[in-house]
Structure 1
Amino acid sequence: MKKFLRKNAWNQEGTFDNSDLFWYAKAVAEMQSRKLDDPTSWWFFAAIHGENIAGDPNSINWNTIKTPPKVPTNPLPSTNIKDKYWNQCQHQTWYFAPWHRGYLMALEIQIRTIVIELKGPADWALPYWNYLNGEKENKIPPAFTQQFLNDGTTPNPLFVTERYGPDNDGNIYIKLFKDGKPRVTQNCELKTVYTGNQNCFGGPETEFSHYGTLFPQESLETNPHNFVHNDVGGVAQGNEGIMSDPNTAALDPIFYLHHCNIDRMWASWNAKGNNNPSQIEWLGGPKEIGEREFVMPLIDGKEWIYTPNDVTNLDSLDYSYDNLETKTESAITDNTSERLKKLGIPTLDHVQLTEDTMDNNEKPTELVGANQGSFEIKNAITKTTVNFSDKGLKKVSKSFLKASAEEVPDRVYLVLENVKGNINANTLEVSVNNQHVGFISLFGLRNASLGDSHGGGNGLSFSLDITNIIDELHLENDLENVSSLDVAVTPDNEILSDTKITVGRISVYREKQ
């Protein structure tokens, strides 16, 4: 039996009657009392994820954050210490899940040590916020919203001023649906391969990636991770909430409960029989290929250098979850058998049709269409036209004409390329030919747009599966006559007047099955 059991934060209605939350608050207060340059302080741990103490004009400076919390910007640790520990978080990469698992484990050790010193339970473990567990638990636990502890006088260290919510009105909840359409989901759990550029669970293959450029369709990081950050943080009165910016997000105590749920989802995905990467470049982490190593401060001045291989299997670690159940609101798309049936293509019993035929691994993709250039996203709906190349469209059409159970027609993706901006907190809805195809969250956009980012300032790119729309055009006998697609992008929340969000290009790619 594991020594430590992580449990649902909504136990005891998410109040301080939940002892996990009570002791978490006590320990967070102690960590917040320590100086910035103390590796065991709350502020130091936040900076491990990301920081902006230097005051980049394109990002939120820690000294402009409205209290609480009162965030220090000095004394700074030495340059060697900063270079070693700070700004490590892995995003838009196959290292996303393992890096954050190690980060949570290190924070949990710090918290548990303090809890024990305060005469709390020796088996304390970090609780998780399962915001996908219905219309009650999608709300932030009440322990995070009261300004004082139950004594009525002690400030609550879990309370944060700059949380604005998905509607920018201070109501903190995760907007699971919009107009009946699934918005924040666990559909990543339906993926069957870990890495890839289109359909995958864990992200694209990269080197050390402290904010990259590509968001694979409905990966664990894309959805629900990014949406939860922006739904909690939001934007109001000209300010983003601190959860909406990767450089401030870990200052918010709810951050760790959010990531605890993300870690739980990875464990759930593995428990379903799905495999993590076996490549040495993943198992050994970026250090294996000469990049920066993953390292966390521990208690008593010790440190922990770790790799994905050290944290890849929950069975080998000293903690577990009380519940690994995950639910999908809807299928990502028709599975292969259902798709072939819809297209009138006979299947054979001896042919094994699984979701592996949908998920991208090393399948070739080819550009078949694009719009005429960049455009800016406004508060009103923004429309553009994607024109097909004659050669590309013919290849897609041909894949239907020769389709069989052994040769499935192409999958088709809409890609928003080189999305750039000076804000992270917006969410966009995308439609094609007046049909909804998905939502995208811009969490991480500002960092990815900066010239010194790992992506060289190229912004973010988002992939959305539009295969069902192409299938319908084929069934209506219109595909060969189609020369373009009408694409519309609509903000899900207000775009501030001083905000600029641009899309470099919208393109369509075919993926041969």
Structure 2
Amino acid sequence: MNTTRRNLLIAAAATAISSGWGQVRSEAGTPVVRYNATTPEGKEMLRIYAQGVKAMRALSAADPQSWTFQWYIHATPKSKSQLLNEVFGTSGSPGRDLANETWYTCQSHLGQPEDYFLPWHRLYVAQFEEIIRTVTGHPEFTLPYWDYTSSSSYSMPEEFQDKNKNDPAFSTLFVANRNRDGGPLRSANVNAGEPLNKYFPGVRNFLVLPDMTKGDYRAFCSQLDSALHGNVHVYTGDGSNMGNVPTAAGDPIFWLHHCNIDRIWTGWNALGHKNPAETNGKNWADTRFVFASSDGRRVELSIDKISDSTNLPYRYDTLPGQVVVAQSSRAEDRLFLRSVRPGSAPGSARAGAAAGPVVLGAAPQTIKLEPTDPQNGLRDIAPRLLRGDVSRLVLVLNSVQAHVDPHTTYEVFLDLPANTSGTAADDHYVGLLNFFGATGDQGHGAHVGKSVEFDVSDVVQRLRSRGGLQEETSVTLVPVGEPAADAEPSIAGGLELRGR
């Protein structure tokens, strides 16, 4: 008997255990396995997944097991009140009450603490996974993941692509309005199987893991959310698809994306890093969210129940692998440099002047960072980083926002000399700024913005070794394409360079 067949037969013996969030283990009590979508096991799970998507789409939007109801738990494409009336009418009902409590509760796109991004989505995906088991009658089902950080999987799994849009088994996974080639995003033709990072080679590759060696949960969660997570959303489907929060969960690939985000978090824990017991002054045991269970009931869950990855009812066939390094104690967060409000007197940042806003547009924008103290020039800080006095340097963009989706991204550079572009700018490249979760969405008003962090430790060291640090520290943002006319993207809270 081949390995694939044997594993599937073992999985077929799985039994559901009522745990409040859809816990499933094998008869032996061991966690079931979530597979890479490209493996034979993962492909078999995709076949079941496609059946589940079809079954869920056939249900009324008022049914908590339906595709629409589950999509709207993440976010709604119109105002929630409007959709509640459209789906349930204006009279009260248990179904309407559950929808009102669960729809558009995704963390953290409405100003909630970003620390809840990972645990909320873990609960959300687990409930969805259990619904697929229920509607298909396949208790052995586990959600596959799309490992887009692997060079062999930069493209979306073929089951979701144009080649299978008429396939009887997989056509329900195809969505036409994913990104096409080019445009202001410099995007790939996603449905044709082109790699998401087609136009971003080498150091510009945005499909990279966050630093898995550092043990600060808040920093890890923030960088995973704003960088890799957001980039995959935007470069899979801009506008009315994955790149827009209210429509993102309407694409079946959304769930494989978030399964992989959960896998990366699990991998970070496997390196010995611990999740917090509390954040923002609130215990995780007292932080609860409401979902719809696989049988349509209201279920309220605290995030501390799923924060220990070793106790999860599932595991992953592989985890992102990096060598575990010795961890130094986290240094005190220290502000070294920051942007100054336009028009402020030189050096006013030292006196505590407010920073920002920085308005972005169709032309490159360079922002000078002023030292908060004379000894905080970047040329002075770089040797301290090498000695270990500062464990890492982080560039923080405070309150990134736009009125509507800009339909573009911005490449971020540190100390970029004037008239430098192309590969000559690679040494100065910091990362790619996307606006996923930072825009005002139709029917929901303006968002409060999000803070975006880039670890620039390696960039600073590289520039120091090559004499590339400038006398005056600056950050340059270069638009990949021309932003939408009414977007008005900005960094409302200014920029900071912090040591941690």
TM-score w.r.t. length of structure 2: 0.74
Shift in alpha-carbon separation, 1:307–1:497, aligned structure 2, 3 A: same
2:452 matches 1:462 = yes
Who is 2:237 aligned against? 233
Question: Would you tell me which structure has more helix in proportion to its own residues?
Answer: 2
The aligned counterpart of 1:341 is none
Letter in 2 for 1:100: H
Determine if contact 1:174/1:232 at 8 Å carries over to the other structure: yes
For the pair 1:9 / 2:37, whether they are aligned, the reply is: yes
Q: Does 1:288 align with 2:283?
A: no
Are 1:384 and 2:366 matched, yes or no?
yes
Written as runs of structure 1 = structure 2, the 5 A alignment for 1:57-136 is 74-75=87-88, 80-91=97-108, 93-116=114-137, 121-134=138-151, 136=152
Cα–Cα, structure 1 residues 44 and 51, in superposed 2: closer, same or farther, change >3 Å?
same
**RMSD between superposed Cα atoms in Å:** 3.8
Deviates more, 1:301-310 or 1:103-112: 301-310
> Is it true that 1:222 corresponds to 2:205 in the alignment?
no
Letter in 1 for 2:266: A
Distance 1:398 1:405, change over 3 A: closer
For the pair 1:46 / 2:71, whether they are aligned, the reply is: yes
Distance 1:258 1:393 in 2: 45
Distance 1:266 1:37 in 2: 33
Q: Distance in 2 between matches of 1:409 and 1:267?
A: 27
Partners of 2:482 and 2:177 in 1: how far apart? 17
Distance 1:186 1:93 in 2: 18
Partner letter of residue 311 of structure 1?
I
Alpha-carbon distance between aligned partners in 2 of 1:3 and 1:452, rounded to the nearest angstrom: 42
Match of 1:193 among 199, 216, 231: 216
* DSSP 3-state at the match of 1:188: coil
Q: Does 1:158 align with 2:173?
A: yes
Q: Cα offset for 1:370? A: 2.8
SS in structure 1 opposite 2:140? Answer: coil
Counterpart secondary structure, 2:245: coil
Question: How far apart are 1:259 and its partner, in Å?
Answer: 0.5
Q: SS at 1:437's partner residue?
A: strand
SS in structure 1 at match of 2:71: helix
- The secondary structure found in structure 2 opposite 1:163 is coil
Supply the distance in 1 between the matched residues of 2:186 and 2:382 (Cα, whole angstroms).
47
Q: Deviations over 1:261-316 (max 9, x none)?
A: 1111111111111111133878854x827xxx312211333332211211122332
Match of 1:339 in 2: none
Matched, 1:420 2:401: yes
What secondary structure does 2:55 align onto?
Answer: helix
Amino acid at match of 1:244: G
TM-score of the pair, normalised by structure 1: 0.72
Superposed displacement of residue 190, structure 1: 2.6
**Long gaps (5+) in structure 1:** 63-71, 204-218, 235-239, 329-334, 336-352
C-alpha distance in 2 between matches for 1:410 and 1:122: 47
- Following superposition, the deviation at residue 402 of structure 1 comes to 10
The one-letter amino acid of 1:489's match is L
Secondary structure in 1 matching 2:61: coil
Per-residue deviation, 1:256: 0.4
The 8 Å contact of residues 427 and 442 in structure 1, kept in 2 or not, is answered as yes
Preserved CA contact (<8 Å) 1:413 1:466 = yes
Find the counterpart in structure 2 of residue 262 from structure 1.
261
Distance 1:251-1:409 versus aligned 2 partners, 3 A rule: closer
Question: How many angstroms apart in 2 are the aligned matches of 1:401 and 1:502?
Answer: 28
Tell me whether 96-105 or 495-504 shows the greater mean CA deviation. 495-504
Q: Displacement of 1:179 after TM fit?
A: 4.2
One-letter amino acid of the counterpart of residue 202, structure 1: C
Distance 1:490 1:8 in 2: 35
1:127, CA displacement in angstroms?
Answer: 0.7
2:187 and 2:199 in contact (8 A); partners too = no
Three-state SS of the structure 1 residue aligned to 2:249 is helix
User: In structure 1, what is the Cα distance between the partners aligned to 2:62 and 2:444?
Assistant: 28
Say which of 127, 134, 137 aligns to 2:153: 137
